[in-house]
Amino acid sequence: MKDEYKKTISVILKSYRKEKGYTLEKTALICNASPSSLSRIEKGVYYGHYDTLVYIFDKLGISFIIDPELIEYYDALLDNMYLGVVKLDDDIVNEYHDKIEDNKDNILNSLCKHRYYAYEFIYRMYKKDSLCEDTINEILSKQMSFLSSEDKQRVLDYISVYYRRIKDYLKSKKYIEEGLDIKTDKDLGFAMLAHRYIRILNHEKKYLKAKDYISEAIEILKKYEAINRVYNCYLILGNIYSDINETDKAIEIYKTVINYHKNFGTGNNFVEKNANAALQNILWCHVKRSNDKKRTYRYIQSLDNEDDLKRFTYSTFELVLEFFFKIKDKDNFDKWYDYFIKCDDNSHEKTYRLSKLLKDILDKGFSDDNLDKAFKLLDDLDIPYDEDEYVLVNDILIDYYKSIKDTKRADELYRKMTETLK
């Protein structure tokens, strides 16, 4: 018998006896068992064979389902639904959730009842249903002690997702680490926790630790053919290499993510989101990290096709325009600026505003008067720009002046920016 079910049986027998007001001796007499055996079952130290327990439950008139074949079937339904969640396969998730709901009454009257509550929570989190913290607390207080170590890891993973969604990142990290600390064979629950944890480790610049976790997560996810999650791990691994300035390694990994998207096809938002991020990160590596302007130029030109342009996000256009601005290539800047206007219909105010500002600077030239006029354009657009944007624009201009070795103007601009932000 699975360890997580032993406690349930102990609780059921003890509750039944107390509800009836029976002594151990009377209960033992009814079910043809010894009082000492029943006592050991209630204390959780002895259970015997399934058939013995089924006989005892039948004699006592307890309708709770502990039949091993049925329990195995219910377990399989829950496990297969969870595998669909890991694979991000809606068809599998919906198929098995429907079967679970068809058997709900029996499952709730069986040894699987606590697993049902736990997996229903995971299902609702996967479907992005609205939940409140009371639901979390109920699972933690009433269900967790009845779950296996693997089930606890799976639930804690999605509790961490809940807190991340409401932007309580400290609690999210707390539950991830709590799940990883559970001593169990490293399986799907561990892999899901690990693949979320590496984001945190990367942010904290704990790169070696992150790479260890990511390698383990990838191997487990591959074993279960959860390929979408595998490529999400590769995307994060690329970010790690980018952060530690191993740019070529990062770019190669990002390319594998994009190629997977091309081979997979459209229709999966998760895969498409990863591909978009990889495309932008390759550009980021070129524009921000590479001193080889010709290489960056060639890569951007290779993206001038319908398929890649469809995947451009606002930030991606921002990087391309920043590059052409820095090298003072007005023709290409205007070309990609037109792409941005057509593709995104000016709907992203910040990028639109920044792009228009840089375009105005290029059109009018890099003189002090024209820079002041360009900044005035932000006010003329009647959309107040924020501090981050002001810093970004000035950083671009400072980099430009450094590139033409006008350090005096770069220092002046930096000093002016610092004083403005005080």
| Under 8 Å between Cβ of 196 and 157 | yes
DSSP H/E element including 180 = helix 169-180
What value does the mean pLDDT of the chain take? 85
User: Which of 64, 84, 100 is the last residue in one of the domains?
Assistant: 64
Within a domain: 139: no
Closest by CA position to 399, among listed 391, 410, 409: 410
Domain of residue 38, residue span: 3-64
How much is the pLDDT for 224?
A: 94
Within a domain: 329: yes
Across 380-402, average pLDDT: 65
- Determine the Cα–Cα distance for residues 180 and 201; give it in Å rounded to an integer: 13
The tokens describing 332, both together, are 């290409």
pTM for the model: 0.76
Could you read off the pLDDT of 337-351 as tens digits, one per residue?
A: 888 888 765 567 767
Could you read off the pLDDT of 86-138 as tens digits, one per residue?
A: 999 999 999 999 999 999 999 999 989 999 999 999 999 999 998 888 889 98
DSSP label of 133: H
Which long-range contacts does 338-343 make (Cβ < 8 Å, 24+ apart)?
A: 339/309, 339/312, 340/312, 343/309, 343/312, 343/317
Q: How many CA atoms lie within 13 A of 401 on its CB side?
A: 18
Question: What is the CA 45 to chain-centroid distance, rounded?
Answer: 40
- % of the chain at pLDDT higher than 70: 89
User: Which of 64, 83, 107 is the last residue in one of the domains?
Assistant: 64
User: Which of 42, 64, 86 is the last residue in one of the domains?
Assistant: 64
Count of domains for the chain: 2
| End-to-end CA, the chain | 67
- Cα separations in angstroms, 368 against 274, 395, 399: 41, 16, 16
How much is the pLDDT for 269?
A: 80
Within a domain: 328: yes
Within a domain: 22: yes
Identify the three-state secondary structure at position 67.
coil
- Determine the Cα–Cα distance for residues 57 and 80; give it in Å rounded to an integer: 29
Within a domain: 211: no
CATH number reported for the structural domain that contains residue 33 in this entry: 1.10.260.40
- Cα separations in angstroms, 201 against 86, 218, 274: 21, 16, 19
Q: Is the pLDDT of residue 303 over 70?
A: yes
Within a domain: 123: no
How much is the pLDDT for 165?
A: 92
Within a domain: 288: no
Within a domain: 32: yes
